[in-house]
Chain A
Amino acid sequence: MHQMTLAEIARGLADKKFSSEELTRTLLARIAQLDPQLNSFITVTEDLAITQAQAADARRAAGETGALLGAPLAHKDLFCTKGIRTSCASKMLDNFKAPYDATVVASLAAAGTVTLGKTNMDEFAMGSANESSHYGAVKNPWNLDHVPGGSSGGSAAAVAARLLPGATGTDTGGSIRQPAALTNLTGLKPTYGRVSRWGMIAYASSLDQAGPMARTAEDCALLLQGMAGFDVNDSTSIDEPVPDYSAGLNASLQGLRIGVPKEYFSAGLDPRIADLVMASVEALKKLGAVVKEISLPNLQHAIPAYYVIAPAEASSNLSRFDGVRFGYRCEDPKDLTDLYKRSRGEGFGPEVQRRIMVGAYALSAGYYDAYYLQAQKIRRLIKNDFMNAFAEVDVILGPTTPNPAWKIGAKNADPIAEYLEDFYTITANLAGLPGLSMPAGFADGLPVGVQLLAPYFQEGRLLNVAHQYQQVTDWHTRSPAGF
C-alpha cells in the first residue's frame, strides 16, 4: 500500500478498494516503525490524521469526489498548523503551537488531505543538508550515512522512504529541488507569488515559495493544484488563473525547445552528474524536443548575491523572535537587553545566528550600497539573462546539484562549502522562476536530479516535460533498499 503514488491512491479511494482511514493507519504504523532511522518527522499528528481520514471517508460516502480527498501527506514544519507545534526545527519555536493555519495547510485540508505530521527541516529553512535542525539531522533513506539535502530534508526523506506519498516543502534557494534530487523525488518550486506565503514562516520573503514534493510529476501536479492560487492575505501573491495541471501532463514534447546553459558544465560539477544530464537530454530528444546551447553569463554571481539578499531579509524577518509574545524566552532576564540577547542567543542555532549577523551587517550603515543594493542589481542581471534565454527556448535544463548527497558532517567545517551546493537552484529564486527537479539516475547508488526551469507561471510546462520523461524512464520508480 505504501508504494502507491498519490494518483494511484486517488484511483484506489475512488474505486473503494480501501478507505482513507485504512491507508492512514497503515502509513502511521510505517512511520512509527521506520522513522526512528530517518528522523524525518518532528511531530506525528496521529489523532488529527485519523480524524481527517474519517472525515474524508465520510465526505466520499456522501458523494464528494476529488483527487486529494483522503490523500495522506505531511507539512514541512514551517507551515503554521493551528494548535499544533510549528517549530521551524528551532529551539526558538519548540513550544510554539501556531494559533492559525497557513493558507497552504488550509487549502489542502479543504481539498480533503490527511495530515500525518510535520516534517523535519534545517532550522528556519537555512541549510542544504538538514543538519541544522534542533531535532537532529535527517538521514537519507538511500544511504543512512548521507544527508537528504535541505532545507526540506524531512519531507524528502519521508516521501523517498515511502512513509507517505507526498509532502509540502518550501524553496528559498533550492530547498525543494535539491533534497528532491538527493532522494530521487520530483519536487517543484512554483513561480514566486503562485502559492500563498501566508502562514509560511518567512526565511527570505522575496525568495520563499512553497511547493510539492512527491515521487512523480503527476503527483506534483495534484498537490500543486491544491496549493496554488491567489490569496488576499499575501500582498505578493499574484492574481493569475490556475490552470488544470493534470490536464496538461500528456501534451506532446514535439518541437519543445530545450536550452542547456554552457555555464552549467563548470569545474564544480561531478562528471557522473554531467553524464546523466546529457542522458536525460537524449531521452527528451527522442520525445521530439530540440536542444540548444544557451548562455547565462551572470550565473556565477548568483551565490554571492543570494547570500546577501537572503540573510538580509532573514535578519529582519527573524527579529520578531524576541521572547515577548511567543516562542522561547530565557530564564530570569535581568533587563530588556538580556531578555533579547539570551532568548535569541539560546533559541537560535549557529547557522541561523550566522545568517542573521551577515544580513544585519550587509544592511548596516555604510555597507548597504556595496552589499544589499549591489546584490539587487545582480539580481536584475540574472533575471535579464533568463529573459534573454526564454526568448529562444521553452525550458532550461541542467543538473539540480553539483554533487550527489554527501556524508553527514562532511561539509560542517566551513559554511560556504554547503552554500556552493545551491549553485544551480538559486537563480530560479532570484529571478522568481518556476523550477522542477526530477530523478535522472544514480551515481554509486545515490540519486541524481535534473532541473528544469520555465518562464513565469509555466509550472504546467515543467510538469508536462517531467511527466513525459517519466513515461519513458523508470528512475523515479526506484525505492531505497530497506524502505
Chain B
Amino acid sequence: MALDRSDVEKIAHLARLGLNDADIPRTTEALNSILGLIDQMQAVDTTGIEPLAHPLEASQRLRVDAVTEINHRDTYQAIAPAVQDGLYLVPKVLD
C-alpha cells in the first residue's frame, strides 16, 4: 500500500514538517522505498512472541522525592529565540 501525495501531506502535518511543494514527489518516492523495505517484516511469523521494548528488560529505578534543582532561568533563557518577563513567547495560542 504505497503512500500518495495526500498521505505524505497528512504525515508531514502530524510531524509538523513544512514540506516544499516541489519536494513532495521526491519525498513520497523515498518514503515508499523505505516502507517497501520495512514491509518485509510482515512476512515474519511472530505469533506468541512478546514485544521487546528494552534490550535488558530491567525495571524502573525510583528517585527519592526531594527538590534538587534551583532557578537557572537566566542561563536557560539566554539560548531561547524569544522571551519576555521570564516567559517564552510564541504566536498567539487559541483554545
- Chain A residues engaging chain B, CB cutoff 8 angstroms: 95-97, 99, 191-193, 206, 232, 235-236, 238-239, 298, 301, 303-305, 307-308, 315, 319, 322-327, 329, 333-342, 344-346, 348, 350, 353-354, 356-358, 360-362, 364, 370-371, 373-381, 383, 414-416, 419, 430-433, 456
CB distance from A473 to the nearest CB of B (A): 31
Instruction: Please pick, from A307, A336, A374, A376, the residue contacting B90 in the complex, using a CB distance under 8 A.
Output: A336
State whether B31 touches A358 (Cβ < 8 A). Answer: yes
CA distance A110 to B56 in the complex (A): 29
Q: How many A-B residue pairs have CB under 8 A?
A: 172
State whether A357 touches B15 (Cβ < 8 A). Answer: yes
B58 proximal to A (CB < 8 A)? yes
CA distance A304 to B51 in the complex (A): 15
State whether B35 touches A358 (Cβ < 8 A). Answer: yes
Instruction: Please pick, from B12, B41, B60, B93, the residue contacting A374 in the complex, using a CB distance under 8 A.
Output: B41
Instruction: Please pick, from A95, A338, A348, A430, the residue contacting B55 in the complex, using a CB distance under 8 A.
Output: A430
- Chain B residues engaging chain A, CB cutoff 8 angstroms: 3, 8, 11-20, 23, 27, 30-31, 33-42, 44, 46, 49-56, 58, 60-61, 63, 72, 75-76, 78-82, 88, 90-93
Residue of A nearest to B23 (CB): A350
State whether A206 touches B54 (Cβ < 8 A). Answer: yes
CA distance A336 to B40 in the complex (A): 38
Q: Which interface residue of B11, B36, B92 has the most chain A CB atoms within 10 A? A: B11
State whether B17 touches A335 (Cβ < 8 A). Answer: no
Given A342-B18, A346-B18, A416-B33, A376:B51 Cβ within 8 A:
yes
State whether A301 touches B17 (Cβ < 8 A). Answer: no
A-B contact pairs, 27 of them (CB 8 A): A99-B78, A193-B56, A206-B53, A232-B63, A238-B56, A238-B58, A301-B40, A304-B37, A307-B37, A324-B90, A327-B81, A342-B18, A344-B18, A345-B17, A345-B19, A345-B20, A354-B31, A356-B15, A357-B17, A378-B41, A379-B52, A381-B46, A383-B55, A416-B36, A419-B34, A432-B55, A433-B55
CB distance from A262 to the nearest CB of B (A): 19
Instruction: Please pick, from B30, B38, B92, the residue contacting A354 in the complex, using a CB distance under 8 A.
Output: B30
State whether A235 touches B61 (Cβ < 8 A). Answer: yes
Instruction: Please pick, from A232, A308, A338, the residue contacting B41 in the complex, using a CB distance under 8 A.
Output: A308
Given A238-B56, A301-B40, A339-B91, A416:B34 Cβ within 8 A:
yes
A303-B37, A304-B37, A414-B33 are known contacts; what are 12 more A-B pairs with Cβ within 8 Å? Answer: A99-B76, A99-B79, A192-B55, A304-B40, A307-B38, A326-B80, A336-B91, A338-B18, A344-B16, A353-B17, A354-B27, A419-B37
Give the residues in chain A near B31, CB-CB below 8 Å: 354, 357-358, 361
State whether B55 touches A323 (Cβ < 8 A). Answer: no
CA distance A400 to B39 in the complex (A): 25
